[in-house]
Amino acid sequence: MLFGKKKSRLAALIIGSLMACGIFTGCGGDTAATNSNEIIVGSNFELTGNHAQYGTNANNGFKLAIKEINDKGGINGKMIKIVEADAKSEAAESVNAATKLISDDKVVAIVGPAVTANVIAESDVAAQNKISVIAPAATNPDVTVENGQLKPFIFRSCFIDPQQSNVMAEFAIKDLGARTAVLYLDSSSDYSKSLGKVFKEKFEAEGGKVLMEEAFLAKDQDFKAALTKLQTANADVIFVPAYYEEVGKIVKQARELGITAAILGTDGWDDPKVIDIAGKDALNNTYFCTHYFEQDAEVQPFIESYTREYGTAPNVFAALGYDAGKMLIDAISRGGDNPETIRANIESIKDLQVGTGRITMDPQTHNPIKGVVVLETQNGERILRAKITTD
């Protein structure tokens, strides 16, 4: 779901090498939790900075999962203690936070960050110290497999970018009957650019044609000039893989210009605030894929629990943070708090009920096998149009 990786690699390598396991006291399985009534886990999310809204929501979902198990007596008589660290929406800070969690707080696993670049930065420190990380919302494929090499200690609870683009390209061709498309991408986001690239490849492989591409920057306010150019292509669909703050404004301004074509997106759209920004009428004839459908019976317990705890409905980041928490709880429940056992048990998760449905971990990629839903918005209400299981 989130952003790029390039700026994170150098910081991760420099800081990670300085903080290698030999420098730490208590690396790997030598944790403070071993002889106590607590199991200490880390939360490393963007609680401040540009991505705080994503990190805070994911962290809330994670904390809810842990609260629920603690309210039931914990795991084998041990309560789970979360130590929170702030990645501060920066790759270098995510490394600093992970280092502290591992070396000072002796966590047995980490959940977070939310942003792809920050997870990739953290991954070297985690691997050096054999501490598992579950990334709730980092959809870039390189998070778990880079240059063909599996990262043994990095997992995720979300599907990956190519799956989203493939689903939406097929939906446009097969369900909407589209033959032409235009792309409107966030040029400041690797998330958006990667999704656009895969969508174009899949759409044209299925017999469609991408006629035009335009770009914007995150935090832009006025999109009408680019939308006017895209309008001249008279395409069947507009693909906008971006986040709800910009999406809401783009959809609203597109309709104001008289653009009636279907507008398609991905999981970055999935926040109730998009309706407030765009307006109900503007969102008619829009479609996006995401991780769950809020009216499915199997996700109702999570939605109700989250709403009781926080006084508001969850967004997709909260749901994926909750899923990551449930995965970690399952791994600890099946083998205790030894970090290597936790790693093996996350890798072997099979048909686990989490907040967004059921999940099985692919041991070859550390990507979850789970459902993808395509939702249509009609008069402010979301309608389920398709449900596909990733593989």
Share of the chain above pLDDT 70, in %: 91
Q: Which helix (H) or strand (E) holds 203?
A: helix 190-205
Q: Structural domain tally of the chain?
A: 2
Q: Which residue type sits at 180? A: T
Is residue 213 one of the residues assigned to a domain?
yes
Q: Per-residue pLDDT tens for 218-234?
A: 889 999 999 999 999 99
pLDDT band at 391 (very low <50, low <70, confident <90, very high): low
Q: Residues 69, 165: one domain?
A: no
Output the domain CATH number for residue 151. Answer: 3.40.50.2300
Is residue 388 one of the residues assigned to a domain?
no
Q: What pLDDT was estimated at residue 148?
A: 94
Q: Residues 181, 81: one domain?
A: no
Q: Residues 280, 324: one domain?
A: no
Q: What is the mean pLDDT of residues 355-376?
A: 95
Q: Residues 167, 205: one domain?
A: yes
Q: Residues 104, 13: one domain?
A: yes
Q: What pLDDT was estimated at residue 2?
A: 53
Is residue 129 one of the residues assigned to a domain?
yes
Burial 277-304 (b: 16+ CB within 10 A, else e): bbbeebbbbbbbbbbbbbeeeebeebbe
Tokens of 291: 């991780």
Q: What is the mean pLDDT of residues 268-279?
A: 92
- Domain containing residue 235: 161-290
Q: Residues 11, 152: one domain?
A: yes
Which of the two residues, 207 and 20, has the higher pLDDT score? 207
Q: Which of 235, 267, 290 is the last residue of a domain?
A: 290
Q: Per-residue pLDDT tens for 52-82?
A: 999 999 999 999 999 999 999 999 999 999 9
Rg of the chain's alpha carbons, rounded to an integer? 21
Is residue 381 one of the residues assigned to a domain?
no
Q: Residues 181, 256: one domain?
A: yes
Q: Per-residue pLDDT tens for 302-353?
A: 999 999 999 999 999 999 999 999 999 999 999 999 999 999 999 999 999 9
Q: Per-residue pLDDT tens for 119-160?
A: 999 999 999 999 999 999 999 999 999 999 999 999 999 999
pLDDT band at 5 (very low <50, low <70, confident <90, very high): very low
Q: Which of 257, 290, 323 is the last residue of a domain?
A: 290
